Amino acid sequence: MTSPSGDLTLTLIGGPTVLIETDGLRLVTDPTFDPPRLYQTAPVHFEKTVGPAIEAEAVLPLDAVLLSHDQHLDNLDHAGRALLPRAGTVFTTQAGATRLGGENVRALAPFETTTLNVPGKGRLFVTAAPARHGPPGIEPISGDVVGFLLGRDAPGDLIYVTGDTVFYEGVAEVARRFSPRVVIVFAGSAEPRGRFHMTMDANDALETANAFPDATLVAAHTDGWVHFKESAAELAAAFATLGIADRLVTLEPGRPTGFPA
């Protein structure tokens, strides 16, 4: 697939899955490539309603996967799991790396930084970011999750991928330490277990915009599963209501969007 000119290109594939292209490097967030299907109804209702805008084969070759967590089907479905061995490196949580195994799987703890250096391509700093997958105390139920920061000249100066998190002190700490140009917000106000959300709702996304005043926000994880309760259009409407519509970019699935310096 071809991309528009620019030093950073993002393509929404569906749900939390975004193809990131920069300096010749290709990365994908939380790979979900299954067609629509019902996986289970209990104890958590996982039902996918929209397939990927781009098939898995079309994103190859992949230099890295940024996997916020491996234990939920809306962040790593069957086709996404099959893709992992074909990526250069899979960055994920410490618990996830243990479960997944594989020589290409690399665990990162929050605020740990490593370097992705692919011969003949570019170099990126990869930093894990803290995340909380819902209200306080949710971790024993939902399991660990991380976000990621990508940096070109310094850690975190390019992109912050929130991963599945709400806005909380961990996200605020990321804002104090780093100044990314783009923040990919996993929104959708996901409610797979009850009337509490495990990803950002509009209020959380607005808090994130305030915490990163110089960044462009990009919406992901908003559509395609029954437990996503707030669409990309509804999120955009919230930003427009407060007069900051220009802070949020809503990607069209399958269409590469360039973010020039």
Query: Model confidence over 1-41: pLDDT tens digits?
Result: 444 444 899 999 999 999 999 999 999 999 999 999 999 98
Task: Check residue 195 and give its pLDDT.
Answer: 81
Task: Check residue 141 and give its pLDDT.
Answer: 62
Parts of the chain with a pLDDT under 70: 1-6, 140-142, 261
Task: Check residue 142 and give its pLDDT.
Answer: 63
Task: Check residue 3 and give its pLDDT.
Answer: 44
Task: Check residue 261 and give its pLDDT.
Answer: 65
**58/238 Cα distance (integer angstroms):** 34
